[in-house]
Amino acid sequence: GESVGLHLPTLSVQEGDNSIINCAYSNSASDYFIWYKQESGKGPQFIIDIRSNMDKRQGQRVTVLLNKTVKHLSLQIAATQPGDSAVYFCAEKSSGDKLTFGTGTRLAVRP
């Protein structure tokens, strides 16, 4: 069988700095996008969402940017904290309620 697993890209940031996590999606028909955070041993947790008729949405310490021209999504976390350390997934919805997840990015926060 396969011996090589998914190589998750890792973003290492200093505590207090801002983090930017990027995601490229594949389906130009996708009309809804979500960022999820997954901590070790837990299920993915909703962070923020954005519809395709918007290009920016802000939450508490987080901002999602959507560039439909290049099919790119980003998650910005302000003043990154140790509790932000996790794997972050973007997900896209193109039809019905079916969400397709990206491979994820690991965020490591240095104290």
Partner 1 sequence: DAGVIQSPRHEVTEMGQEVTLRCKPISGHNSLFWYRQTMMRGLELLIYFNNNVPIDDSGMPEDRFSAKMPNASFSTLKIQPSEPRDSAVYFCASSRDRVGHTEAFFGQGTRLTVV
- Would you count residue 29 as binding partner 1 (CB under 8 A)? no
Q: How far is CA 71 from CA 13, 20, 52, 93, in A?
A: 25, 16, 10, 13
Q: Which stretch binds partner 1 (CB under 8 A): 12-20, 40-48, 55-63, 68-76?
A: 40-48
For residue 95, the minimal CB distance to partner 1 (Å) is 9
Smaller CB separation from partner 1, 6 or 111: 6
How many chain residues bind partner 1 (CB under 8 A)? 25
Q: How far is CA 89 from CA 1, 24, 36, 108, in A?
A: 26, 11, 5, 14
Q: Which stretch binds partner 1 (CB under 8 A): 15-23, 34-42, 56-64, 75-83?
A: 34-42
> Both tokens of residue 62?
């987080």
